Amino acid sequence: MLIDFVGLGSMGLGMATSLLKAGYDVRGYDPDVARVEMLCAQGGVAYTGAKELQADAIVCVVLNADQTRDILFGEHGVAAQLCKGGLIISCATVSPAFASEMEFEAVTHGLLYLDAPISGGAIKAAEGRLSIMASGTVEAFTAADPLLNAMSETIHRLGDRAGPGSAMKAVNQLLAGVHIAAMGEALAFSVSQGLDPARVVDVISASAGTSWMFENRAPHVVESDYSPRSKIDIWLKDLGIVTDIGASSGLPLPISSNALIQFRSASDAGLGQEDDAAIAKYFARAGGVIMPGDY
Amino acid sequence: MLIDFVGLGSMGLGMATSLLKAGYDVRGYDPDVARVEMLCAQGGVAYTGAKELQADAIVCVVLNADQTRDILFGEHGVAAQLCKGGLIISCATVSPAFASEMEFEAVTHGLLYLDAPISGGAIKAAEGRLSIMASGTVEAFTAADPLLNAMSETIHRLGDRAGPGSAMKAVNQLLAGVHIAAMGEALAFSVSQGLDPARVVDVISASAGTSWMFENRAPHVVESDYSPRSKIDIWLKDLGIVTDIGASSGLPLPISSNALIQFRSASDAGLGQEDDAAIAKYFARAGGVIMPGDY
């Protein structure tokens, strides 16, 4: 069975490798040819765009809605290379409305579509241990299940149409983004009060103030390591999706809207390509507080 | 050894009972006589304010700084009933500057002072399993250690003067308050998108968007149970302390200041005496979204 895999970033390459390990043929595409070569070194082949063998499924792990639409149904869209009744698994963080639109396009082309945002990070992706927040028709799930099992540890089955998968991912990103911003403010505040940030991480991780993101990101601040595992600018996109959904639903989102403003200001201040934990530096600098390793 | 215990609320009564279990004599005070009777039923005695036996230590578990100052050093302050060199353990959430001021007062009266905010909730208090974020002199710790051991599972030793204990508690409250507000917004958002909140709690609790407060408070929203375990109005006080510290330090705190505004608005809307998870209802109502059990 041949899978076209689009997007071989830190998540995608791990997922594609998991499919290879499970015995699938994987044909990969990424604008960065070095990433395609990494897949080929694991036993994959490069997608050339020429009229080749038709694939049975596409897994699409790109950045956003525009890339997803273009890759799937644009001028050189890969959906045209899918066999009749083939499956699209779409993993980018997008709005529920966009996921529904893509599902409609897929059905129009006689294809199956699974709304399947992912969570877990690069390490779990490489180990085939992601969480997938999925929704789609019974037929789409039936076709997708063996692939999902190869790539993930947990499959959340959230509904029989596209949309709820993306909605749940948006809920997760709302919380995750706010928690990172809160982590940054809390560590800047800690340093302003003379507390040792390493001690703060120890104490808070065992207290009611902790969060998954606090425990994951606060150590980057303690170590002053802002090499990007996930960038500040990702939150302009993901919290932007959240607040766009809120705006179109008429639901005010004061907490996540404010977090988005802070990430945007940090990006404007030149931190957009740093690790998202650098929001702590942004808050500290605004108050003349010097974080470990800063300046 | 006789301990004067001031403040027999849901935390205080459990702590006082832990001291009784450890063999201390405990003389309790609370404006609610029913709470004092509950202590007496466990073997404690009532503090009458008369010239009685001098206590060896005071544990003060009141609401805020004003109450702490008044109870300890006010006109009828209990510090005057302490034996020479006696110990004050002060547990209210206050600013580090206020904790330093109280320590100075205590030293002036020839007393020992431990800055000792608590975390963990009523259940852990009753089990003697609190976390205590403590700072103070070596002498204060030496005197306090047996009492702290009776009341707590974890003692964080944060410095040799009053202040760092309260600073760490403020960091915890900053995060906890923001996380509760984020939980509320996320669940209102979930319902607006047609997601089942019970399912959201399951999925998010196993995802990167989770927090201690999400896992603790979101079930209240799912069950529509807003009987107050911790009230909305508590956050006006605790986030108020956080933002006051920020203001006096010149550090902008946009995330926690915004959360404070939301709790204040929810209180103004009449929700102040409900459980703090009711912030979800407040956000939902603002967008015409109906939460489980609301209206």
Which of B254, B283, B287 is opposite residue A262, by nearest beta carbon? B254
Give the number of A-B residue pairs with CB atoms closer than 8 Å.
230
B266-288 mean pLDDT: 98
Confidence of residue B255 (pLDDT cuts 50, 70, 90): very high
A65-74 mean pLDDT: 95
Q: Dig out the tokens for B57 from the structure.
A: 């230590």
Nearest-Cα distance to chain A for B46, in Å, is 32
User: pTM for this structure?
Assistant: 0.94
Burial class (CB in 10 A: 0-12, 13-18, 19+), A36: buried
B199: nearest CA partner in chain A:
A158
Alpha-helix residue ranges (DSSP H) falling in chain B:
10-21, 33-41, 65-73, 96-108, 121-126, 138-151, 164-192, 197-205, 212-222, 232-249, 254-266, 279-286
Give chain A's mean pLDDT. 96
Q: What is the pLDDT of residue B294?
A: 83
**Max CA distance (Å), chain A:** 64
Q: Does domain B166-286 have CATH number 2.40.170.20?
A: no
| Residue matched to tokens 């109906």 | B290
H/E stretch holding A118 reads strand A118-119
Of the ranges A50-59, A156-165, B54-63, B116-125, which one carries the lowest mean pLDDT score?
A50-59
Q: Do B249 and A121 touch (CB under 8 A)?
A: no
pLDDT digits (tens, 9 = 90+) for B236-252: 999 999 999 999 999 99
Say if residue A295's pLDDT is above 90: no
Q: Which residues make Cβ contacts (< 8 Å) with residue B80, sequence separation at least 6? A: none
Query: Interior CA angle at A233 toward A227 and A237, to 5°?
Result: 145
For A130, phi then psi, to 5°, come to -70, 165
Q: What is the pLDDT of residue A51?
A: 66
Tell me the torsion sign for CA atoms B261, B262, B265, B266.
negative
Say if residue A235's pLDDT is above 80: yes
Q: What is the pLDDT of residue A294?
A: 84
A174 close to A242: Cβ distance less than 8 angstroms: yes
- Residues of chain A found within 8 Å of residue B96, distances taken between Cβ atoms: 193
Each domain of chain A, given as residue ranges in start order, spans 2-161, 166-286
pLDDT digits (tens, 9 = 90+) for B35-74: 999 999 999 999 987 666 899 999 999 999 999 999 999 9
CATH of B2-162, one of 3.40.50.720, 3.40.190.10, 1.25.40.80, 1.20.1250.20: 3.40.50.720
Q: Do A176 and B209 touch (CB under 8 A)?
A: yes
Q: How far is CA B203 from CA A137, B131, B207, in A?
A: 20, 29, 6
pLDDT digits (tens, 9 = 90+) for A247-268: 999 999 999 999 999 999 999 9
pLDDT digits (tens, 9 = 90+) for B163-190: 999 999 999 999 999 999 999 999 999 9
Query: Interior CA angle at B170 toward A172 and B174, to 5°?
Result: 20
pLDDT digits (tens, 9 = 90+) for A21-69: 999 999 999 999 999 999 999 999 999 876 668 999 999 999 999 999 9
Q: Do B133 and A203 touch (CB under 8 A)?
A: yes
Strand B45-46, strand B130-136: pairing: unpaired
| Residue matched to tokens 């809307």 | B269
Q: Which of A51, A84, A169, A231 is catalytic?
A: A169
Q: Do A186 and B174 touch (CB under 8 A)?
A: yes
A253: nearest CA partner in chain B:
B185
**CA dihedral of residues A15, A17, A18, A20 (deg, nearest 10):** 130
Confidence of residue B227 (pLDDT cuts 50, 70, 90): very high
B265: nearest CA partner in chain A:
A254
Q: Do A208 and B255 touch (CB under 8 A)?
A: no
DSSP label of A50:
S
Q: Which residues make Cβ contacts (< 8 Å) with residue A247, sequence separation at least 6? A: none
SS3 A82: strand
Regarding an ipTM greater than 0.90, the answer is yes
Nearest-Cα distance to chain A for B67, in Å, is 24
Same fold across A2-161 and A166-286? no
Confidence of residue B76 (pLDDT cuts 50, 70, 90): confident
Strand A112-115, strand B2-6: pairing: unpaired
Q: What is the pLDDT of residue B81?
A: 87
H/E stretch holding A211 reads none
Say if residue A76's pLDDT is above 90: no
d(CA B269, CA B247): 26
B207-223 mean pLDDT: 97
Which of A172, A176, A181 is opposite residue B255, by nearest beta carbon? A181
Active site residue A231: no
- According to CATH, the superfamily of the domain at A2-161 is NAD(P)-binding Rossmann-like Domain (3.40.50.720)
pLDDT digits (tens, 9 = 90+) for A170-228: 999 999 999 999 999 999 999 999 999 999 999 999 999 999 999 999 999 999 999 99
Q: Choose among A76, A45, A40, A58: nearest CA to A4.
A: A58
